[in-house]
Every structure is written in C-alpha cells, then in structure tokens.
Amino acid sequence: MKVSVSVEGIDGDPSGESIRAVSAAEHSTIFASVLQELYPSLKSFESVDLSVAFVSSEYMKNLNLQYRELDEPTDVLSFPLWEVDGAFRPTWSGPDLPLGDVVICEDIVRESAEEQGILFFDAMCLILSHGVLHLIGFDHYSEEDRVRMFELQETMRDGLVSFSRNNSGHVS
C-alpha cells in the first residue's frame, strides 16, 4: 500500500519546508507501515489518499470557529471521511481509500516550533502526523488515548525526518 497526498494552498501557500514534509509523507514508508500495523485490513488497498491544505491564520480561525466553536486559530484540523462514533470504519470498496482532509496553518506551527525551540520542519512533520492520526479515528481526550496517539505521531514524525535527511541532503 502506498500513501498518496494532494496539496492545496487555500488562502495561503505552503513553504518549501511544508512541501518537503508532505513529500516525505508520500515517499517514505512510515505512514503506510503505521497505518497497516494499526489496521491490517488497509493492506487490501493499493493506496490511501489524503488531502493537505495550507491556510492562513484567519482562515484557520474561521474553520475552528465553524467546526469546534473556538474563536482562535489552531495548528491543524482534520476532516475524516470514515469516522463513526469516534472510530475508523471505512466502507469503501475501491482500490484507493480516501481518508479525508488535513488542514494546517503554517503560521501557528512556526510559532509553536519557535516557542518549543525545535526546527520548523520537525514541527511540520509532527503536525502532519497528528492530523493523519485524527483521520483514522485517534483522539486525545483521555490520558490513555493521548499517550498512545502522541507515541504514534512521534514515531511517524521521526520516520519522516529521518527519511528526509537520508534522501534530500538537507539537514533538518
């Protein structure tokens, strides 16, 4: 199974670092292996597809208000296609399974990276991983769920960062 990612800039264009994170997600095997480990039934699909949109702080604030009733921008929102009662339950029978949309606000990710003293690229890989996990039913409302989700997103982030370092010649 491969992971296919389409990228859109909606009221904001992605930076080169963001595109590099998306490229790592598509060309490395980390997302596919984690997804298949979590849901072995996904092995029957040729690919899983997701869309990543990059938006401005103002656009993200409007989305967050509309969908979560929070009047502030956030770093990432996910819009899963197969969530039923908080669980991932795909009913698709085609060869390529669409997972949904991940919307990222680069400005918020950049601010957060600076506050935490980490590289923007690493923060972008983490946020992208976080968004994908939300597409497959993960959440962080309970402490147990938070710990499991954060372990998985760190595994995915580390895989993306490692792949990018080993294949691009960039030092992140």
Residue 168 has what pLDDT? 64
Say what the pLDDT of residue 167 is.
Answer: 84
Other beta carbons less than 10 A from residue 139's beta carbon: 14
- Give 151's pLDDT tier (boundaries 50, 70, 90): very high
> What is the C-alpha to C-alpha distance for residues 162 and 172, in angstroms, rounded to an integer?
9
What is the SS3 assignment for 86? coil
Closest CA to 126 of 110, 145, 142, 137: 110
CB atoms within 10 A of CB 3: 21
Q: How much is the average pLDDT of 129-143?
A: 94
Whole-model pTM? 0.93
Query: What is the per-residue DSSP string for 142-160?
Result: SHHHHHHHHHHHHHHHHHH
> In residues, how long is the chain?
172
Contacts with 123 (C-beta within 8 Å, 6 or more apart), sequence order: 109, 110, 112, 113, 116
C-beta of residue 129 within 8 angstroms of C-beta of residue 153: yes
Q: Which domains occur in the chain, in start order?
A: 2-168 (3.40.390.30)
Confidence label for 171 from pLDDT (cuts 50, 70 and 90): very low
Pairing assessment for the beta strands 87-88 and 83-84 based on DSSP bridges: antiparallel
Confidence bin at 109 (pLDDT 50/70/90): very high
Rounded to the nearest angstrom, the gap between the alpha carbon of residue 4 and the centroid of all alpha carbons in its chain is: 12
Counting other chains too, the contacts that 113-121 makes at CB distance below 8 Å and 24 or more residues apart are 119/172, 120/17, 121/17, 121/20, 121/21, 121/161, 121/164, 121/172
For strands 2-10 and 47-55, give the pairing: parallel
